[in-house]
Structure 1
Amino acid sequence: MRESQARGASASSAPGCGWYLLAPALSGVGVCVGTVWTVRSWAGCPLGNNFSNNIGLQMMTMPAVWLCMTLLLFLLQLALRRRPLPGGRATRWLAPFAAAVLLTLVYRIGMDWPYFPPDSACLEGYPLFPFTGKTGPRFSL
Structure 2
Amino acid sequence: MRGSTTKGAPPPVSAPGCGWYWMAGALAALGTYGGTAWTVRSWAGCPLGNDASSNIGLNALMLLIWVCMTLLLSLLPFALRRRPFRGGRAVMWLAPLAAAIALTVLYRVGMEWPYDPPGGPCTDGYPLFPFTGKTGP
TM-score norm. by structure 2 comes to 0.80
Runs of 4+ in 1 over 4 A off after TM superposition: none
SS of residue paired to 1:68: helix
SS of residue paired to 1:5: coil
Residue pair 1:27, 1:69 contacting (<8 A) in 2 also: yes
Distance apart, 1:17 and its partner CA:
1.2
Residue pair 2:16, 2:77 contacting (<8 A) in 1 also: no
Residue pair 1:123, 1:136 contacting (<8 A) in 2 also: no
Give the distance between the partners of 2:111 and 2:96, measured in 1 at CA. 23
Give the distance between the partners of 1:46 and 1:38, measured in 2 at CA. 14
Query: Paired residue for 1:97?
Result: 97
Q: How many residues align?
A: 127
Query: Paired residue for 1:122?
Result: 122
Query: Paired residue for 2:112?
Result: 112
Distance apart, 1:51 and its partner CA:
2.4
Q: Which amino acid aligns with 2:4?
A: Q
Distance apart, 1:71 and its partner CA:
1.2
Q: Which amino acid aligns with 2:57?
A: G
1:88-110 per-position Cα deviation (integer Å, ceiling 9, x unaligned):
10110011100100000000000
Matches within 5 A, 1:49-68: 49-51=51-53, 54-59=55-60, 61-68=61-68
Identity of aligned residues (%): 57
Q: Which amino acid aligns with 1:91?
A: V
Segments of structure 1 that go 5 or more residues without pairing to the other structure are 125-132
Distance apart, 1:139 and its partner CA:
4.0
Distance apart, 1:140 and its partner CA:
5.7
1:11-62 per-position Cα deviation (integer Å, ceiling 9, x unaligned):
x92322112111111000000000000000000001222226x111111x11
Give the distance between the partners of 2:14 and 2:85, measured in 1 at CA. 14
Larger radius of gyration: 2
SS of residue paired to 1:34: helix
Q: Which amino acid aligns with 2:65?
A: V
Give the distance between the partners of 1:17 and 1:41, measured in 2 at CA. 36
SS of residue paired to 2:118: coil
Residue pair 1:69, 1:103 contacting (<8 A) in 2 also: yes
Which has more helix, going by share of residues? 1
Query: Paired residue for 2:46?
Result: 45
Give the distance between the partners of 1:112 and 1:18, measured in 2 at CA. 34
Aligned Cα RMSD in Å? 2.5
